[in-house]
Amino acid sequence: MTRKALLVFVVLGSLLLSEGGRVHPSSASQACAQPTKLVLVRHGQTDWNARGLLQGNAEVPLDETGRAQARSLAHAVAGKRVDAVYSSPLSRAYETALAIAEARGLAVGRRAELREIGVGIYTGLRLARIPADVRTAWSANPDFPMPPGVPEATASAEPAYVEGRRFEGESLNMVLERSWRDLRDLGRQHCGQTVVVVTHGGVIQIALTQASGLAVTRYRAFPVSNASQTILEYRSDGSVAVLPDW
């Protein structure tokens, strides 16, 4: 390449970068000037909820009470603004989300990062069946994970949902990292809008620790009932507020 041709190439490249070829920051990385509301909904009741069994990522469907709760929830929010609906990929959350979305002609986007806390080999057991030292370590140490693996079906009160299936085990920080990041991504993606997110009790409790400026190990300070609504408002200064209503 001659010296003259090289000069032309450099000038053209500079023009492209300063005009049509400029790389703009993605909208996800820009601060939103308007408040964005995420309405976190815990799924309706399942039979395992009623029986006090740890569901984790087992595919346990809504029971009749849970389906009625989903319908009542859809009716309760019928007059409110909803721009988009998302859910955990687990069926109990997705079915709850459908009740809200279908009445509005909206699709439900499934978000894998909003699944319930993985409790590994303890999936399907009552909390009291987990060894006391494991329970204590998991609650107090945010980096202590539940052991992953295939639950012992004979120990479960409902073996059909766990038999032969391997479940991940997670620590509080593992759940915090994936779920809180995903909620913030949704907030940026839907700047100025109101979004319903149907997820799980553990995810909502952990989100509330972050919105309240508390350690993730304080999650038990926030009881979250089936079909309840928790409203987070993401603000332009980067803060997150918990609202009483929406």
3-state SS, residue 25: coil
| Cβ neighbours of 136 (radius 10 Å) | 12
How is residue 170 annotated by DSSP?
Answer: -
* 231: three-class secondary structure by DSSP: strand
**Phi (first) and psi of residue 47, to 5 degrees:** -60, -35
The residues carrying an active-site annotation are: 43, 116
The three state secondary structure string of 33-49 is CCCEEEEEEECCCEHHH
Token pair belonging to 246: 């929406």
Going across the sheet that includes 84-87, the strands are: 108-110, 84-87, 194-199, 36-42, 229-234, 240-243
> Which DSSP helix (H) or strand (E) runs through 33?
none
